[in-house]
Amino acid sequence: MKDKRCVVLLSGGLDSAVTLYFAKKSGFDCSCVSFDYGQRHKRELTSAKKIADAAGCPLRVIKIDMGWGGSSLVDKKMAIPQKPSGSKKIPSTYVPGRNIIFLSFALSFAEVIGAEAIFIGAHAQDYSGYPDCRPEFYKAFSKVIKTGTKAGVENRKISVETPLINKTKAQIIKLGARLGVPFGLTWSCYRGGTSPCGKCDSCHYRNKGFKEAGLIDG
Amino acid sequence: MKDKRCVVLLSGGLDSAVTLYFAKKSGFDCSCVSFDYGQRHKRELTSAKKIADAAGCPLRVIKIDMGWGGSSLVDKKMAIPQKPSGSKKIPSTYVPGRNIIFLSFALSFAEVIGAEAIFIGAHAQDYSGYPDCRPEFYKAFSKVIKTGTKAGVENRKISVETPLINKTKAQIIKLGARLGVPFGLTWSCYRGGTSPCGKCDSCHYRNKGFKEAGLIDG
C-alpha cells in the first residue's frame, strides 16, 4: 500500500483515463469513482470498469438521480449537437451542476478514506465551453473544501488536482501514450451506440486530437 | 404562479420547516428537495412530505448513495452521542460532505427550473459545530455557483439563502411560531424511533430551544 491516497473521477472517457494513469505515476494509491446519472452514453461505465481493472485500481459506481433533465446528455427528447458550433455558447450537452455534484461525492468519499487529493480530468482548452471545466471553478471548489469539511477545518488538505486543465486534446493524448493508457478501452462518444458516431463534439475533438498528436486511436 | 422561484432543502426537521415557511412568506414559489441518503432517522422523510403538503409545495426525494459511511448518522455500527459533549470537537454525527452534496443537487435542480435562490436552514450558533453550517462555507459555495454553472457565467444569479444562520434555536422557534409552522409534523431526533429519544444532540437543542422560547413543542 502506498502512503498517498487519492480519489480519481473516472468517466470511462479518454481524459479521465489519462488522469488516472497520471495520478498512479505520481505515486498515489488511487480509488476510482464513476457515476451512473442517467447519461445517454451509459456504455462509458463499462469502459470505466475496464480501465480501472487495467490500472489495478478499485472502482465505485455511484448511482445518482438527476431526473430533472436540462441537458441533451440525459434527456433523450433533446438532440445531441452534430458538431462543434464554433460559437462561444455553452452547448446543450452541458449538464447543470454535474461536475459540482461529482466533486461533492468524491470529496465525501475522500474525507472518509483519508485521501489527500481528488483528481479530475477537466480541461479548459480545446473543449466545449463548459463552465465547470475552468480553473476558476476548481479554485472556488477548493475553498468549499477548506471551509465546509472537517478535514478543511482541521487543516488536513484535500486538494483538487486538474493535471490536464491547460492541455490541448493532442497534448493529453501524447501524455496518455507516454503513460501507457489503454486508449482502446476508453469511450468518448456522447451517443453511446455500439461504435462512436464520429459527429458529436466529443468524437470530433477526440479524432482531431489523435490526428494532431500524430497517433492512431485504439 | 409567483414569479420568483426557489428550491428549499427540506429535511423534515424543525429548522428546514421554518426555512420553507420563511421562503414562502418572502414571496417565493417553493420547490422542496429531500434526500434519502441512508440516514438512520429516515423517518424524517415522512415528516418532510407532510410539511411540504401542509405548505402546499411540491417535494422531490432524491435517493443518494453515501455507502462509504464515516458518520454515526449513516453507519449503524457507530454510536449516536448521548448528549452534547461541550467540547469544540466536531461530533460523530457529522456526515462528510453532506451539505455540499445536498447543495450541489439543489443547484442543478435550481438551474434547470430557473430558480433564483436555494434556501437552507443551516445555522451556526447554538449547534453542534458542523463545518458545513458556517457562513464562510456558504460564501465559498456561492463562488462555486458563480464560476461553475451556466447561470453564473450568464449572470443569472442563483443565491444561497440561509435565513437562520445567525439565530439561536429559541429565535428559530419563535420565528416558526409567527409563521405558523406545524412543529408537530417535524422530526429532529437522530435515532429515528417511534418517538424522540430526548437524549441526542438534536433532541437536546430542540427541547432547550422550546424552553427558552417559552413555547410548547408539538
CB neighbours of residue B155 within 10 Å: 7
Question: Is B92 near chain A, with CB under 8 Å?
Answer: no
What does the pLDDT look like over A50-66, one tens digit per residue?
Answer: 999 999 999 999 988 88
Least confident of A196-200, A207-211, B158-162, B192-196: B192-196
User: Could you tell me where the DSSP H helices lie in B160-215?
Assistant: 169-179, 201-213
CA distance A180 to chain B (A): 31
Question: Is A135 near chain B, with CB under 8 Å?
Answer: no
Test the B interface: residue of A78, A89, A149 with most B CBs within 10 Å: A149
Strands (E), chain A: 5-9, 29-36, 59-63, 117-119, 159-161
Tell me, what's the pLDDT at A76? 72
Question: Is A94 near chain B, with CB under 8 Å?
Answer: yes
What does the pLDDT look like over B103-119, one tens digit per residue?
Answer: 999 999 999 999 999 99
| B138 has pLDDT over 70 | yes
Least confident of A137-141, A170-174, B35-39, B145-149: B35-39
The dihedral over CA atoms of B170, B211, B52, B136, expressed in degrees to the nearest 10, equals: 30
Chain A residue numbers with beta carbons less than 8 Å from the beta carbon of B90 are: 150, 153
Percent of chain B at pLDDT > 70 equals 93
The dihedral over CA atoms of A75, A69, B40, A149, expressed in degrees to the nearest 10, equals: 120
Specify whether the CB–CB gap between B35 and A36 falls below 8 A: no
- Own/partner pairs, B48-56, CB within 8 angstroms, 24+ separation: B48/B10, B48/B11, B48/B12, B48/B16, B49/B12, B50/B182, B50/B185, B51/B10, B51/B12, B51/B17, B51/B20, B51/B182, B51/B185, B51/B186, B52/B10, B52/B20, B54/B182, B54/B185, B55/B20, B55/B21, B55/B24, B55/B30
What does the pLDDT look like over B75-87, one tens digit per residue?
Answer: 777 777 766 556 6
Q: Tell me the mean pLDDT in the region B50-61.
A: 97
As averages over each run of 10 residues, the pLDDT of chain A (218 residues) reads 87 96 98 90 89 97 83 72 65 83 95 95 73 90 93 90 94 97 91 83 90 93
Tell me, what's the pLDDT at B128? 59
Question: Is B64 near chain A, with CB under 8 Å?
Answer: yes
Chain A residue numbers with beta carbons less than 8 Å from the beta carbon of B111 are: 70, 96-97
Most confident of A181-195, B88-102, B174-188: B174-188
Q: pTM, whole model, 2 decimals?
A: 0.89
- What domains are defined for chain A? 5-213 (3.40.50.620)
Q: What angle do CA B23, A95, A65 make, to 5 degrees?
A: 70
Percent of chain B at pLDDT > 90 equals 59
User: Could you tell me where the DSSP H helices lie in B114-157?
Assistant: 135-148, 150-153
> Which of B96, B136, B151 is the closest to A150 by Cβ?
B96
ipTM of the complex in this document: 0.87
